[in-house]
Structure 1
Amino acid sequence: MNWIILIVAGLFEVAFAFCLGKTKDSSGNEMYLWYAGFLIALCISMGLLIKATQTLPIGTAYAVWTGIGAVGTVLVGIFIFKETATFLRLLFLFTLIGSIIGLKAVSHS
């Protein structure tokens, strides 16, 4: 169950990065709403990470959490913010995904 909590925490990390990215294109009240979304997603993500690390090894949990956030944020950047998807960028992204899966596979929890 804590692996599911950790995955959801990683998805909320993607959400707070998305909100942060949206603040660049907004102003006034809309910008403050994106900042509020950022803070809410950040608090949820951290709270779930804390919950997950009560039974999972901290090193593995933190690496998986940041990995999910990194992969998700790159994909959001490519698909939503229209960032470039070069061969090397995708190669390293798949390498990161493989590392996340590997950490989960060798974890004893």
Structure 2
Amino acid sequence: MAWLLLGLAGLVEIVWAQTIKPTQNFTRPLPTLLCLTLMAVAVYLLSRSMQTLPVGTAYAVFTGIGALGAIALGVIVHKDPLTVGRTVALGLILAGVVMARVTNPE
């Protein structure tokens, strides 16, 4: 269950990251409310997963999922460049997330 909560937290973090820019430096009330709500949900789910998982593992996986998703959405939605270096970096992040999962004793 902790890994499921952690995965959900990572997915919410991906969406949350996409809501930061539309707040326009937190000057727009509705986008800001959405952004802060998603942030709170992501951190809540992360904290629930940390009741079972080690803090370092949970946080590393959480941020890894967020980074992978944010970069992927940037490439797909915003047409950010996907260079060889970024592709290698994404692969290393993914490998780290997978390794953290499979080597966790839980």
Distance 1:66 1:101 in 2: 13
- Which one of 25, 31, 34 corresponds to residue 34 of structure 1? 31
**Residue aligning to 2:20:** 20
- Which one of 89, 95, 98 corresponds to residue 98 of structure 1? 95
TM score, norm. by length of structure 2? 0.91
Tell me whether 1:59 sits opposite 2:62 in the alignment: no
Distance 1:69 1:75 in 2: 10
Distance 1:105 1:83 in 2: 31
Question: CA RMSD for the aligned pairs?
Answer: 1.3
How much identity, in percent, do the aligned residues show?
33
Tell me whether 1:8 sits opposite 2:5 in the alignment: no
Deviation at 1:87, TM superposition (A): 1.3
**Residue aligning to 2:73:** 76
TM score, norm. by length of structure 1? 0.89
Q: Unaligned stretches of 5+ in structure 2?
A: none
In 2 relative to 1, CA 78–21 (structure 1 residues): closer, same or farther, beyond 3 Å?
A: farther
Number of positions where the alignment pairs a residue of Structure 1 with one of Structure 2: 104
1:54 match: secondary structure: coil
Amino acid at match of 2:2: N
Amino acid at match of 1:59: G
1:13 match: secondary structure: helix
2:18 match: secondary structure: helix
